[in-house]
Amino acid sequence: MYLVIAEKPSVSNSIAKVLGAYQKKDGYLEGRDCIVSWCLGHLAEYVSPDSYDERFSKWNYEDLPIIPDQWRLAVSKDKKEQFAVVKELLKRNDIAYVVNACDAGREGELIFKRVYDLSGSHMPVKRLWISSLEDSAIEKGFRELRPASEYENLANAAVCRAQADWLIGMNATRAFTTKYFKRLTVGRVQTPTLCMLVDRGNEIANFRKAKYFNVAIDLNGMKLEKQKIFDEADAEALLHMCQGNEAVIVKENSTDRIVKPPELYDLTTLQREANRHYGLTAQQTLNAAQSLYEQKLITYPRTDSQFLTEDMEDTAANVIRVVQSKYGLDNPFSDFPKPIIFQVMNNRKVSDHHAIIPTMELEKTDPHDLKVDEEKVLFLVSLRLLEATGEKHIFTETVVEASCGGETFSTKGKVIKHVGWKQFEEFAKDFAGSKAEQEKDTVLPKVKEGQRFSNVSADMSEHYTTPPKTYSEDTLLAAMETAGNKEFDENTEKKGLGTPATRANIIEKLVNSKYVVRKGKQLIATDDGKALIEVLPDFLKSASMTAEWENQLLDMEKGKIAPDQFMTGIKGMITMMLNGCDQIPEEDTYRFQQRESIGVCPVCGSLVYEGQKNFYCSNRECGFVLWKENRYLERMKKSIDSKLAAELLKSGQATVKDFYSYKKDKYFEADLVMEYKDGRVNFSMVFPDRNSSGRTKHK
């Protein structure tokens, strides 16, 4: 008997069907010789800091850095029942080994390892590594199970990535939040990404348009231009020199240009195209692609490769045939030989997973039955397979230059000789409402070098330079993919900010934290996002440093560096960050505060300001703080607002007319008295004395 653990129930069902595990149990499926269960995604996560020490429940700068000696995992409340099932299965004596069938990538490795480690199991582990959930792929994968030890480096990289994100997120967020008295969320990858958006916004805001002029001459209906003359007087002088004068053709050259077919999709290019054509966010595309994968309609989507392996010729040919039939297209192999498929095959450019392509399951599926986003993504993946295996696009480009008034004017013409793979772009426009435009010929009149044109007419037009474009998810994903590349050696394997599997989540975190807003397709940094980037040190928002960490994780996957080496660098960076925070001038730490005090500290006499959850003394050496929510007042449905806090600070007590008594189920009036003793605030109440004109104190 052996156990299989997958990432999700849907994947488990596909695997169980192939293995013959049809008997449904509570949290797993059982067959004659196997059991198939699942994790529900991340069953376990690293615990919060207060789980290591209760004092971390309050954010104090003096408690930093928080670096666990032994990392602890905890199961989320809504998944405890399934974890109990998996844990019990991992402890069974009648099971010989467990198969890690979580998604074949870094994150899948982490999901399985956390559950396995937390269960305390010592069961031998084998790894299922597949790129498709088709029955044939699952069968082949189980025939070729590998020892888990072969993926140890990948697991190490997964753990180090997660721990690095925790350390930087927890320490940097707490450090800058407590320093500036404002919630400032910092992330290893999201902060450099935000910085790119802020920088682009600043470039646009600081852009000053410049006027320039184009001067054109007309040679019997053929217009040639001299472009971007920034001095108006020079442009007017050239206009007058050309008007009515002679022009001579100094160059006429025609060259055949070849546009190679595009490569197949990896996840990032799929997300970019889905955003460009349909306006889908990166997360929406990933969600649709993951669903298509689980429905067996496309191969594994979280890939960074745009090629197939060289043993996939027959697979590709069969899938192309299905795509052609499903979408009503002509057979692309009718006019050229079969080896055209080899242009998308390269073993050296496929690491863990090959490019995203449809599967043969498409033959039995009506795309219109899918969800809208799924249908769109499936169409893009299908069409890209045809484009990538299509013929070259060839056109003839003609360049004509003429001399007039001592300057050279030019124009270009274009004639398509062979449409090739671009025939599918027009199909995409018709089928999917794409904005792709059909290429048109621009035929120039026949001219020869040395040919003269007399009495030339000329005109001048006015133009302005344009600012950089605001990032869309398409262009931001491209920028994330290449971020920091110029900092590395040519031979460095470059991966940029994040991975194809994580970039969508990074963008969503920025939007959810309100550091970025979506405006149509545009992604724009908010004022809070700009303010955060303004106060952070360069190394925390550096794309090149974060990209270098990603490269180190890749090296770890290949066994080139040890986990300790990577984590030492992360811890060193945290130390550098805290040293920098220590140097922040005190007056700068109040930059986010509205500097209107609500009173004077009863302990040291310094000004008291309002924070998000409390009223605090501006003197950092003083421990006075008045919390807005506290247990004493909570019993009477009362919290401290700025008006009440000001009265308490002024005279030590304040009359409150809306205390609530649960016992009597009514509101009552009393004086709230504040005392500061032994480093803490204590409250008591004074009630009106009904037998005299005085008042009675009540604890």
Task: Return the amino acid letter for 544.
Answer: S
Burial-class residue 394 by CB neighbours within 10 Å (0-12, 13-18, 19+): middle
3-state secondary structure of 516: strand
Known active-site residue 300: yes
What lies within 8 Å, CB to CB, of 423 at 6+ separation is 390
Q: φ and ψ at 5, to 5 degrees? A: -120, 115
- Residue 255 zone, left/alpha/beta (φ > 0; ψ -120 to 50; rest): beta
CB-CB contact of 126 with 147 (8 Å)? yes
CB-CB contact of 175 with 61 (8 Å)? yes
Strand residue runs (E) in 428-539: 452-453, 457-464, 516-519, 522-525
Catalytic residue among 300, 515, 609, 616: 300
Q: Count CB-CB contacts under 10 A for residue 475.
A: 19
Rg of the chain over Cα atoms, rounded to whole angstroms, equals 33
Question: CA–CA separation, 94 vs 99, rounded Å?
Answer: 15
Q: Is the dihedral of CA 298, 304, 307, 309 positive or negative?
A: negative
3-state secondary structure of 528: helix
Question: CA–CA separation, 644 vs 653, rounded Å?
Answer: 9
Structure tokens of 284?
């929406």
Q: Count CB-CB contacts under 10 A for residue 508.
A: 17
Picking from 347, 367, 359, the residue whose alpha carbon sits closest to that of residue 320 is 359
| DSSP structure class, residue 442 | B
Q: Is the dihedral of CA 564, 570, 574, 576 positive or negative?
A: positive
CB-CB contact of 292 with 375 (8 Å)? no
Burial-class residue 154 by CB neighbours within 10 Å (0-12, 13-18, 19+): buried
Can the peptide bond before residue 65 be classed as cis, meaning omega within 30 degrees of 0?
yes
Could you list the active site residues? Answer: 300
